Structure 1
C-alpha cells in the first residue's frame, strides 16, 4: 500500500491507497489550537504524537506492506525546532494575528509591495516573515534557542526519519523564495530585519527530501518523501497541473489555486506564487483565511448540526431572504485576493423574521462569493476541481456551482494525502498513473437561472466588500 500523511490545522490524517489509487482506509485524530488575543498556537508534541498514532492505527488496520509514504501538511506559520526537530516553543499558526502591526507598517512604507515584486508572495500576519520579525522583537531568546524555523510537515519529517532540518520549494515560497531562481532572496531577509537570523531558514531541498523511517508509526526503513505542503499537494491529488486549470479547496482555509507557466508580479499584491516540483511551473494561489471555519462558527453559534446543513440549504431560497454575510472571520483579517489585516466579518439584513436557514445559506453564499473573487484574481480559464471537507455537503456543492457559474469536478477523499503519495512516487521513480489516481468522483453543473441570480449577487458582494475594507482602514 501507499500511505499519504496530511498534517492539517485541526486534524491529522493518514490514508492508505492501492496501486491504482483506490482509498483503502483513513485514520484521523484531532489536534488542538489555542487562541487568545490574536495569538494562535499549536503544541508540536501533540501534533507529532497524533501523527504517530494515526500511522500506527492505519498500518494495523490494513495488513499490507508499505511501499512508500508521502508527507504533506499545513503551510505558513513558524515552527521553531532544535537540532533534533523538537520544539523550542509552541508553533505559531498561519492563523496567528499578533504581527498585524508589522504588516500594517510594511504596507504603509512600501516594504510589503517590494517583497511581493521580488518573490510573488503577499505577506500576511501568519506568514513566516512577519512572525519571525515579531519574535525577534518580543521573544529573541526563542530564536536564539532554535536551530531552524521550519514548517509543519518539515518538523514531522525530521522526527519520523531523523534527517536534518529541510523544507521544499512550495513551503519556502512565502515569503523568502525567489520563484525564478528557487533560492532564498537575501534582500527580502534584510528588508524584514532578519539578516542576522538568515541561518534559521531551513535549507531548500529541490526536489523534495527523502529518507527512511526510524520506526515510529511506520516500519523502519519505509521510504518517505517530504512535501509539497497541503495546497500544492491537493492540486496534484486533484489532477490540476495544466495551465489555466484551477482547484478550490473548501476546507478550514478557502484556497483557490490556478496552474500557470506565467510569472506576473504586477497588479495588486495578494496571494502568492507557489513553486512546484517542475521549474517554470507555478500555482497562482489565493488562499483566503476562512473557509469552513466561518460556517463552523455560524453553526456553533446558531446550534445547527452539520447533518442539518443540506436540509436548511434546500429549504431556503437563493439570496437567503435578504441576509448577507461577508465571511472574513479570521483574527488576522484577510490575505487573498487582497491583504486587509483589520478586516472583520459583517452580517447584514437580519431581522426577527430571519431563520437559522437564512444565516446558514447566507454564510455559504458569502464563502462562494469570496471563492469567485479569488479564482478570478488567480486567473482561472480552464476547468475547476473542488475538494475538501465542504464537498461532503451535496447541497453546498450545488450552491457553489451556481455562485461560481461553472461546472465543478468534485474530487472526494483524502486529496492532499493522495497528492503527497503522487509526489513521493515521482521522487522515488515509482510508476503510478496520475490520471487514474485523480479521476473526479462527480461533476456538478450550475443551474442557468440561479447562476444569473448569483452573478448579480456577486457584484453586490464586491460593493459591500469595498465598504468594509474602507471601514477597516479607519
Structure 2
C-alpha cells in the first residue's frame, strides 16, 4: 500500500491507498490550537504524537507492506527547532496575527511591494518573514537557541527519519524568501526584512523534494518517505490540477484558490503568492484566503447549530438569505488574498429581529463563495475547476458554490492532500502510478442558470461592501 500523511492545522490524518488509487483506510487525530490575544500557537510534541498515532493505527488496521509514503502539511508559520529537530518554543501558526504592525509598516514604506515584485509573495502576518522579524525583536533568545526555522512537515520529516539536518522544499520556501526564477533564497529580501543576521535559520531546500527512510517510529523502519509538497500544492496534485489555466478551490480551514500556470507575472496588486513546484517552470498562482470553514464554524457555534444541520439550514433560507450579508473575514490577522488587509474584520449586515439562524448560515456560505470567486478571478482561472476540502461534504453547500461561482465543479473526495503527497513521492522515487485514475473526480456539479444570475449581481454588491470595509479597516 501507499501512505499519505497530511499534518493539518486542526487535524492530522494518514490515508492508505492501493496501486490504483483506491482509498483503503484513513486514521485521524485532532490537534489543539492555543489562541491568545491574536497569537495562535501549537505544541510540536502534540503534533508529532498525533502523526505517530495515526500511522500506527493505520498500518495496524490496513494489511500489506508500505511501498512508500508521502508527507504534506500546513504551510507558513514558524516552527523553530534545534540541531536535533527538537522544539525550541511552541510553533507559531499561519493564523497568528501578532506581526500585523510590522506588515502595516512594510505596506506603508514600500517594503511589502518590493518583496512581491522580487518573489511574487505578498506577505501576511502569519508567514515566516514577519514572524521571524517579530521574534527577532521580542524573543531573540529563541532564535539564538534555534538551528532552523522550518515548516510543519519539515519538523515531522526530521522526526520520522532522524535526519541530521533540517530541510524544506521549494513549495514551502515560496513564501516569502524564494525567488521563483532561480528557485533559491533571495538574500536581498532577507536583508530588506532586517533578517540578515538570522539567514542561517532558513532551512536547506530539497529540489527535487527530499527523501529519507523511516526510522521505525510510526512507519516500519526503512519505509521510503518524501518530504513535500505542502498541503496546497499537494491538493492540486491530488485533484489532478496540473494543466495551465485549471484551478482548485479548497474549502477548508483556509479557503485556498489555486490556478496552474507557467507564467510569472509580478505586476498588478500585490496579493497571494506564486508557489514553485517540484517541476521547474510549473507554478501555482495561489490566493489562500485566511478563513474558510473556520468562519462557518464560528457562525454555527454562535447560533447553536450543529454541522450535521448544515444542509437543512441552507435549504431553509433562499438565495440572498432574506437580505442578510456576511463579509466572512473572521481571522485575527485580517486577510491576505486576493488583497492584504491586516486590520480587516468580519461584518454582518442586514440582520433584524426576523433574521433566522438559517439566514445567518446561508449568508456566511454565500459570503465565503463570493470570497472564493474574488480569489479565483485574481488568480487567473480560465480552465476547469476542481473543489475539495471539508466543506464539500455538504451537497447543499457545493451546489451553492457552483451557483455563486457560475461554473461546473469537479468534486474530488477523500484525502486529497494525502493523495497528492503519495503522487509526489511516487514521481520522486520513479514508481509508475496512473495519475489520471488517482485523481478521477467523484462527480461534477453544474450551476443553476437562474441562481447563478442572481449571484452574479450579489457578487458585485459584495465587492462594493468589501471596498467600504477595507476603508474602515485602515482608519
Post-superposition CA distance 1:154-186 (Å, at most 9, x none): 000000001120000000000000000000000
Q: Name the SS for the 1:329 alignment partner.
A: coil
- Please give the alpha-carbon distance, in whole angstroms, between the structure 1 residues aligned to 2:313 and 2:392: 16
Alignment of 1:106 onto 2:117:
no
In structure 2, what is the equivalent of residue 47 of structure 1? 47
**What do you get for the CA RMSD once the two structures are aligned?**
0.3
TM-score (norm 1): 1.00
In structure 1, what is the equivalent of residue 279 of structure 2? 278
In structure 2, what is the equivalent of residue 223 of structure 1? 224
In structure 2, what is the equivalent of residue 94 of structure 1? 94
- Please give the alpha-carbon distance, in whole angstroms, between the structure 2 residues aligned to 1:85 and 1:153: 12
Q: Name the SS for the 2:72 alignment partner.
A: strand
- Please give the alpha-carbon distance, in whole angstroms, between the structure 1 residues aligned to 2:238 and 2:381: 18
- Please give the alpha-carbon distance, in whole angstroms, between the structure 1 residues aligned to 2:241 and 2:305: 34
In structure 1, what is the equivalent of residue 443 of structure 2? 442
In structure 2, what is the equivalent of residue 370 of structure 1? 371
- Please give the alpha-carbon distance, in whole angstroms, between the structure 1 residues aligned to 2:463 and 2:47: 38
Shift, 1:315, TM fit:
1.6
Shift, 1:57, TM fit:
0.3
In structure 2, what is the equivalent of residue 141 of structure 1? 141
Name the count of aligned residue pairs.
474
- Please give the alpha-carbon distance, in whole angstroms, between the structure 2 residues aligned to 1:146 and 1:110: 30
Post-superposition CA distance 1:120-176 (Å, at most 9, x none): 000000000000000000000000000000000000000000112000000000000
In structure 1, what is the equivalent of residue 467 of structure 2? 466
In structure 2, what is the equivalent of residue 127 of structure 1? 127
- Please give the alpha-carbon distance, in whole angstroms, between the structure 1 residues aligned to 2:319 and 2:194: 49
Shift, 1:392, TM fit:
0.3
- Please give the alpha-carbon distance, in whole angstroms, between the structure 2 residues aligned to 1:141 and 1:60: 42
- Please give the alpha-carbon distance, in whole angstroms, between the structure 2 residues aligned to 1:149 and 1:305: 38
Unmatched segments (≥5 aa) in structure 2: none
Q: Name the SS for the 2:126 alignment partner.
A: coil
Q: Which structure 2 residues correspond to residues 252-271 of structure 1 after superposition, within 5 A?
A: 252-271=253-272
In structure 1, what is the equivalent of residue 408 of structure 2? 407
Shift, 1:314, TM fit:
1.1
Shift, 1:12, TM fit:
0.1
In structure 1, what is the equivalent of residue 5 of structure 2? 5
Q: Name the SS for the 2:326 alignment partner.
A: strand
Alignment of 1:76 onto 2:76:
yes
Post-superposition CA distance 1:396-425 (Å, at most 9, x none): 000000000000000000000000000000
Q: Name the SS for the 1:175 alignment partner.
A: coil
Alignment of 1:27 onto 2:34:
no
- Please give the alpha-carbon distance, in whole angstroms, between the structure 2 residues aligned to 1:306 and 1:135: 38
- Please give the alpha-carbon distance, in whole angstroms, between the structure 2 residues aligned to 1:372 and 1:107: 25
Q: Which structure 2 residues correspond to residues 17-416 of structure 1 after superposition, within 5 A?
A: 17-163=17-163, 164-416=165-417
- Please give the alpha-carbon distance, in whole angstroms, between the structure 2 residues aligned to 1:363 and 1:84: 45
Unmatched segments (≥5 aa) in structure 1: none
In structure 1, what is the equivalent of residue 425 of structure 2? 424
Post-superposition CA distance 1:77-102 (Å, at most 9, x none): 00000111110000000000000000
- Please give the alpha-carbon distance, in whole angstroms, between the structure 1 residues aligned to 2:132 and 2:14: 30
Q: Name the SS for the 2:27 alignment partner.
A: strand
TM-score (norm 2): 1.00
In structure 1, what is the equivalent of residue 454 of structure 2? 453
